[in-house]
Structure 1
Amino acid sequence: MSEKIDLPRRGFLGAAAATLAAAQLTLSQAAQAQSAITKAAALPASKPGSHTSFAPLKQIQAGVLNVGYAEAGPANGPVALLLHGWPYDIYAFVDVAPLLASRGYRVIMPYLRGNGTTTFLSPDTMRNGQPSAIAADMIALMDALKIQNAVVAGFDWGARTADIMAALWPDRCRGLVSVSGYLIGSQAAGKVPLPPEAELQWWYQFYFATDRGAAGYQKYTHDFAKLIWKLASPKWDFDDATFNRSATAFNNPDHVAITIHNYRWRQDLVKGEPKFDDLEKRLATAPTISIPTITMEGDANGAPHPKPSAYASKFTGRYEHRDLTGGIGHNLPQEAPVAFAQAVLDVDKR
């Protein structure tokens, strides 16, 4: 897999929207020049992998879930909600959390549905992986924790979730840090054919569309996840201990069901829940995001991702994009924790 993929991420906006984004880029850049992000004091250098554990995990009932989460920092500090992707977990932020806590932030890192110690309250609840459901989980978590607003930051599924929260519930989000930018899509966009090279990058999405793929992921969950880690971050020399700390999150009884449903839903192969229909209709219009935002990209991201120029116009408030060099792959927070934490501080600097 190439180290830099400029192919569009499936389910983003489609070719028409990419063309519109390019046409609007000049205007967007001009607006950004007058609404730049104010930098916070620089964080000290810190080696990735310096931390390997959290304080004991907490559990709380929120919406349809009993959510497991790690927490760091003072209870009365401004909140940073950090959201992991697939197939990753909260250990993506194990080096980020102490940095933010040292600046007085209350850092909340929840397991998304289907991961870790997050479980469904009822066996009858649909094991639904559609994007709006995951975002609604995070709003329910904030409500349960009595958090009015937070900086939301994430990568992969976590970035998509954070983007959706910022678009649909901007009053609950003080700022946004989104790795790989604007990842809001729709089932209609997910059905649009891409060039063959782009389709190749989504091989696992087509695999998961089959019964064989679902059975294969069930049988080889950890092997599959480790392969994705290697392909998505080809220059990240993670060791077995690092992977194994995260791999325990995939033992969740609903992990496979949520994963398969998410990727099948994107191609309109399965239905979601009617209660999310109105949210999905709003998301299908590719709404702009008005809150302060920093988007980030690593120079060795082996996963499909759009070019920054394709999504810059979707952010209409204070905005900045940051490219990271040095072989940084898809799991940007774990590979470059200081840069990720600095972005959280900067986007919240007022």
Structure 2
Amino acid sequence: MLCPALRGFGPTRFRSAETPRSSQLAALGRDLLEFLDALDIHRPALIGHDWGARAVANACGLRDRAGSHLVMLSVGYGTNDPQQTLTYVQARNYWYHWFMATPRGQHAVEQDRRGFTRMMWDTWAPANWYTEQDYDQAATAFDNPDWASVVLHSYRHRWGFAPGDPAYAADEASLNPAPVLSVPTLVLHGAADTCNHPDSSTGKERFFSGPYERVVLERVGHFPQREAPENMAGAILRFCEQAS
């Protein structure tokens, strides 16, 4: 199993100081395709959570048969469009998106990244789902020097508040509107997710021409890979064995 870091997280580095610190969602999909090509990996099962879920889905949208199976955790497909319909509940859940579009939010991301992200961990899932050691270990990924710029751009671009990198203009056009995917797809969503409400992943069957399944995990919040790893792994293995 390979688990690449997203741009701006952990050990990743931009090769040039002149490269825009973009993290538009199309770029995440393109990064994954370039990662697979560099390692000469053909049609692996693609599994991702949140930003990672958008990356694996967009990779499949940019290249047919990029993966043998697609698994999206805590995110519904077809949610890249800045004009998408949002319920008021989901708009409330996305408070941090709007916050980061302001100077005060930018300051929080740049100057208090651990306090800001800790707020997410404490409010996106039922209480006491992680230990201090868990958080400290994960938070080292936020120490990347490009993390703040990448995060701010990703959310600002997502809602049309910042321009994208022209290098990804063709990919953006390919992904909006969201293309129909033929890859067998599984969506796993926590019933107690207060970041992306589970309703946000319902009614997506029209986007899939191949096998498609959605499973809601009871008493699980936004982080099924940490909150219910055995249930999550079991569902993924079952789906990959059955769907073709």
The answer to whether the superposition gives a TM-score over 0.5 is yes
**SS, match of residue 163 in structure 1:** helix
**Structure 2 counterparts to residues 35-54 of structure 1, below 5 A:** none
Further displaced range: 288-297 or 228-237: 228-237
Aligned partners of 1:154 and 1:340: how far apart in 2?
12
| Pair 225,138 (structure 1): closer, same or farther in 2 beyond 3 Å | same
Quote the residue 1:256 is aligned against.
Answer: 148
Quote the residue 1:117 is aligned against.
Answer: 11
Runs of 4+ in 1 over 4 A off after TM superposition: none
Contact 2:191 2:198 in 1 (8 A): no
Quote the residue 2:221 is aligned against.
Answer: 329
- Normalised to the residue count of structure 1, the TM-score between the two structures is 0.65
Residue 121 of structure 2 corresponds to residue 229 of structure 1:
yes
- Normalised to the residue count of structure 2, the TM-score between the two structures is 0.92
Quote the residue 2:179 is aligned against.
Answer: 287
Offset, 1:216: 1.4
Within the candidate set 202, 218, 222, 2:94 is matched to 202
Contact 2:81 2:177 in 1 (8 A): no
Contact 1:236 1:329 in 2 (8 A): no
Further displaced range: 309-318 or 291-300: 309-318
Residue 225 of structure 2 corresponds to residue 339 of structure 1:
no
How many residue pairs get aligned? The number is 241
Aligned partners of 1:217 and 1:255: how far apart in 2?
9
Work out the percentage of aligned pairs sharing the same amino acid: 31
Contact 2:189 2:198 in 1 (8 A): no
Q: Which one has the bigger strand percentage?
A: 1
Q: Deviations over 1:3-58 (max 9, x none)?
A: xxxxxxxxxxxxxxxxxxxxxxxxxxxxxxxxxxxxxxxxxxxxxxxxxxxxxxxx
Aligned partners of 1:297 and 1:196: how far apart in 2?
19
Q: Which residue identity is paired with 1:148?
A: H
Contact 2:22 2:153 in 1 (8 A): yes
**SS, match of residue 188 in structure 2:** strand
| Pair 275,331 (structure 1): closer, same or farther in 2 beyond 3 Å | same
Aligned partners of 1:264 and 1:113: how far apart in 2?
16
Quote the residue 1:21 is aligned against.
Answer: none
Aligned partners of 1:283 and 1:304: how far apart in 2?
21
Across the aligned residues of Structure 1 and Structure 2, the Cα RMSD in angstroms comes to 1.8
Offset, 1:175: 0.2
Structure 1: runs of 5 or more not aligned: 1-106
Q: Deviations over 1:161-192 (max 9, x none)?
A: 111112222322100111235333345425x6
Aligned partners of 1:288 and 1:158: how far apart in 2?
19
Within the candidate set 291, 303, 317, 2:210 is matched to 317
Q: Which residue identity is paired with 2:92?
A: L
Q: Which residue identity is paired with 1:322?
A: V
Select the structure of larger CA radius of gyration: 1
